Structure 1
Amino acid sequence: MSPRLIVLWLEDGSTSRLISGCPGCAGVVPASSILASAPTDKNLDAWRESGCRTTHCNLEVLQESTLVFLATKPHVLPGVLQEIRPAVGPHHIVVSLVAGVTLQTLQRVLPAGTKVLRLMPNLPCVVQAGAMVFARGSGAGDGEAALLKNLLSSCGLCEEVPESYINIHTGLSGSGVAYVYLFAEALAEGAVKMGMPSGLASRIAAQTLLGAAKVMLETGEHPAKLRGDVCTPGGTTIHALHQLEKGALRATVMNAVEAATKRACDMAED
């Protein structure tokens, strides 16, 4: 039986958009094989527009699904787990995207031996350019890990990691998207200050970030080496980098990743 995908209790609109950018809309799984559930119609519209089936009954979809994505706010998840627990069987694969909820917690609430994995994506999954990491629980084997990775690789980079890396990924990539947007905004505003129209400056800033990231991924070079390749003695780039160093850009970004990671850890303890 090929896996059917379901998403339970989509309360967060941003999460709904993110998930809908993944397997089904990337063409890996037919839309007719996806059944999404939420308490109201608000977060189901995008799914219907993509040709997916929808419902308000979690147990109904659980009965005909094998691969189950849980995408709720943390305070909602305990109630959802208690609701679906009686219907979870050995054929189910349960994937949680809920921030701060550990594999240990999921395994404690769900039936013993349930195949549980924990996934942390980021916003660019909506354009199939995401960065995702996942960890498996004790009941999930190589087959479940391979299935999840194969499905989600169509949406970007997808790596299996120890669970301890998931909070770091949140600080690096989940929240990191916002750091990049802030930097892109600053790049564009610098160009506007020097006389370039805002729309053009924003497009060039975005393309600059995209191109730099592509070179980094395709060459595998360390960013410090690539940065050095751009610099010439006495040139424009080294003068600009000097200003960034004076503003402590590297230390500030490192502090931001640390702060977001610590907050993710705190959420797991709340």
Structure 2
Amino acid sequence: MGYTLAVIGCGTMGVAILSGIFTRISQESNESSDLPTKFIATVGRSTSIDQLRSSLPSTSSAAKDTTILSGDEGNLEAIRSADMVLLACKPYMAKTILEKQGVKEALSGKVLASVLAGVTMAQLQAWAPEDCEVVRTMTNTPSKIGQGMTVITTIPASSPSTTSSRLTAIFSSCGLVRFVDEKHFNVCTALAGSGPAFVAMMVDALADGAVLMGLPRAEAVEMAAQTLAGTARMILETKTHPAVLKDGVTTPGGCTIAGLMRMEDGNIRATLARTIEAATLHAAGLGQDKK
């Protein structure tokens, strides 16, 4: 049975999620019954409508049929028309949007799924009506090409089965999905949500090293990115522990061990681990009132 998905405050993450869904729909001859059949997206200003439209896949009929609304009235109309609401605005805007007149009533009996870093279930439940099912999710920008990583708060057994199946269908279109307890969300935000930026910096640094040694920039970036992508895929598909994979490439007296020792000289393990620690602690403060 078809249903309508409204993406409220559709910025970078909203576009990534919608793009993943639209790509999945266009690739499948028999569309999943758990995917939305109608889409509404909202932006803050009417001047942003054309920009959002151009950000969605141009070859997707679902993207072309997506309704785009703007402003507070647009948010309210979208929520009223939707069966499931995906809150994708900036974290600090959540309370303002959800406390606008008429929004609480419009959310009655519906599912509100948030992709906002740092905004807790307790906050969302306080801003939504009691009969609105609140779910917290976190995904990342590779969702745009179907290679994302999404975590969703554990769905209570008492919830309608459609909640879990629909959320799984939506985010599986964007990549891998895991259900986790909310207590892990800040570290998931740091590792997966911020992770693409950390990985991009590593690719850039590896490419810089190759450029330093004479390889043209374009080839250096391509090789660095593909090497990282291929290694990650090996770990996921073969379930090989990263340390085992590393040892398999490292021969006595070879160039790999020479490079690894230089990485250890730079405390790369501690630096990367502390990067996740710092981002996790910062994520805990997002969406909270500043004192």
State TM-score, norm by structure 1: 0.91
Distance, in Å, in 1 between the alignment partners of 2:256 and 2:57 is: 49
Equivalent position of 2:255 in the other structure: 236
Contact 2:3 2:36 in 1 (8 A): no
Unaligned runs of 5+ in 2: 26-30
Partner residue in 2 for 1:68:
85
Task: Check whether the contact 2:4–2:83 (CA below 8 A) recurs between aligned residues.
Answer: yes
- 1:53 paired residue number: 67
Residue in structure 2 matched with residue 5 of structure 1 by the alignment: 5
User: Given the alignment, which residue of 149, 167, 182 partners 1:131?
Assistant: 149
**Superposed, which structure 2 residues align to 1:83-232 within 5 Å?**
83=100, 84-90=103-109, 92-136=110-154, 140-232=159-251
Shift of 1:103: 0.6
Aligned pair count reads 267
TM-superposed CA distance for 1:26, in Å, is 2.8
Paired residue type of 1:250: R
* Partner secondary structure for residue 266 of structure 1: coil
TM-score for the superposition, normalised by structure 2: 0.85
Judge which range, 94-103 or 57-66, deviates more: 57-66
Q: Distance in 1 between matches of 2:204 and 2:92?
A: 34
Distance of 1:36 and 1:107 partners within structure 2: 22
Task: Name which of 241, 255, 258 aligns with 2:274.
Answer: 255
* Cα shift at 1:146: 2.6
Offset at residue 68 of structure 1 (A): 0.8
Structure 2: distance between partners of 1:142 and 1:31? 15
Separation (CA, whole Å) in 2 of partners of 1:159 and 1:197: 39
Do residues 18 (structure 1) and 16 (structure 2) align? yes
Q: Is the 8 A contact 2:113 2:137 kept in 1?
A: yes
Offset at residue 59 of structure 1 (A): 2.2
SS of the aligned residue for 1:132 comes to strand
TM-superposed CA distance for 1:255, in Å, is 0.3
Q: Any conservation in 2 of the 1:97–1:118 contact (CA below 8 Å)?
A: yes
Work out whether residues 4 and 36 of structure 2, in 8 Å CA contact, stay in contact via their aligned partners in 1. no
Alignment RMSD? 2.1
CA distance in 1: counterparts of 2:83 and 2:264, whole angstroms: 51
Give the gaps of 5 or more residues in structure 1. Answer: none
Residues 177-224 of structure 1, C-alpha deviations (whole Å, 9 max, x = no match)? 111111111111111111111111111111101110110001101101
Report the CA distance shift for 1:97/1:140 in structure 2 as closer, same or farther (over 3 A).
farther
Pick closer, same or farther for the CA change 1:78–1:268 going to 2, 3 Å. closer
**Which residue of structure 2 aligns with residue 267 of structure 1?**
286
Contact 1:129 1:155 in 2 (8 A): yes
- 1:119, 1:133 within 8 Å by CA — same for their partners in 2? yes
Q: Distance in 1 between matches of 2:69 and 2:286?
A: 30
Whole-angstrom distance in 2 between the partners of 1:243 and 1:268: 40
Report the alpha carbon displacement of residue 141 of structure 1 after superposing the two structures with TM. 5.0
* Identical positions, percent: 34
